[in-house]
């Protein structure tokens, strides 16, 4: 099977990146990470890439005079690596409409809750799990979705539930949700690799 070419964009620790690398290396995901890009030079995600001989690039808005120049450079890197799918894995910067449009239906994000709930501005990291516990819901989960121009809004590809236990703290919940993320992101990438994703309006259909 053909290997889907990925660019992974990450700002932090990169445990999702690691899970994808592990799936590829175990032969369970037909993909190749061509480049890992981070806005944060100290992101451990870059270190993980280097350890696995994956090209790592530090690319920050601060390096460019204008946002446009940043976009051009990012698009150039994606193009020269012939990227099929852009994978946002804890990338903390909002990409411009120009970049998002260039990868329409070919850019995905993972969110540690069941969108459209507990998403949007301020809903990242531990804040998501704090809000989930505070709301009293009994079920949370993981969402993998297409990226469109509205934050946490694009069409949903797959979701998986995680029960909220009475004894949960935001931290304990975050830990269980993250474990599910590590499974689900590779599953979603696999669907793209197998060309099973069909997008109609704001719905994603998974071909059998």
Verify whether residue 111 is a known catalytic residue: yes
Pick the catalytic residue from 58, 111, 127, 182. 111
Q: Is the Cβ of residue 110 or residue 204 nearer to ligand GRF in the bound state?
A: 110
In 3D, which of 132, 88, 130 has the Cα closest to residue 110? 88
Minimum Å distance from CB 105 to ligand GRF? 19
Name the minimum Å distance from CB 2 to ligand GRF.
Answer: 26
Closer to ligand GRF by CB, 34 or 111: give it. 111
Binding site for ligand GRF (CB under 6 A): 10, 12-16, 89-90, 110-112, 178, 181
Shortest reach from residue 206's CB to ligand GRF, in Å: 21
Query: Considering the complex, what minimum distance in angstroms separates the CB of residue 100 from ligand GRF?
Result: 16
Nearest residue (beta carbon) to ligand GRF: 90
- In the bound state with ligand GRF, the residue whose beta carbon lies nearer, of 158 and 178, is 178
Closer CB to ligand GRF, residue 91 or residue 103?
Answer: 91
Residues taking part in catalysis:
111
């Amino acid at each position: 099977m053909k290997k889907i070419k990925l660019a992974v964009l990450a700002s932090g620790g990169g445990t999702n990146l690691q899970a994808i690398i592990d799936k590829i290396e175990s032969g369970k995901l037909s993909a190749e990470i061509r480049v890992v890009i981070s806005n944060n030079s100290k992101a451990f995600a870059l270190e993980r890439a280097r350890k696995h001989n994956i090209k790592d690039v530090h690319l920050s808005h601060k390096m460019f005079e204008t946002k446009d120049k940043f976009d051009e450079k990012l698009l150039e890197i994606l193009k020269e690596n012939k990227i099929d799918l852009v994978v946002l894995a804890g990338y903390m910067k909002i990409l411009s409409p120009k970049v998002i449009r260039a990868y329409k239906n070919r850019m995905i994000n993972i969110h540690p809750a069941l969108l459209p709930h507990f998403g949007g501005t301020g809903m990242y990291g531990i804040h998501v799990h704090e809000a989930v516990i505070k709301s009293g819901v009994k079920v949370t989960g993981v969402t993998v979705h297409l990226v469109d121009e509205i934050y946490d809004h694009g069409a949903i590809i797959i979701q998986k539930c995680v029960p909220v236990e009475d004894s949960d703290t935001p931290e304990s919940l975050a830990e269980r949700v993250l474990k599910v993320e590590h499974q689900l992101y590779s599953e979603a990438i696999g669907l793209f690799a197998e060309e099973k994703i069909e997008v109609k309006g704001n719905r994603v259909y998974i071909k059998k």
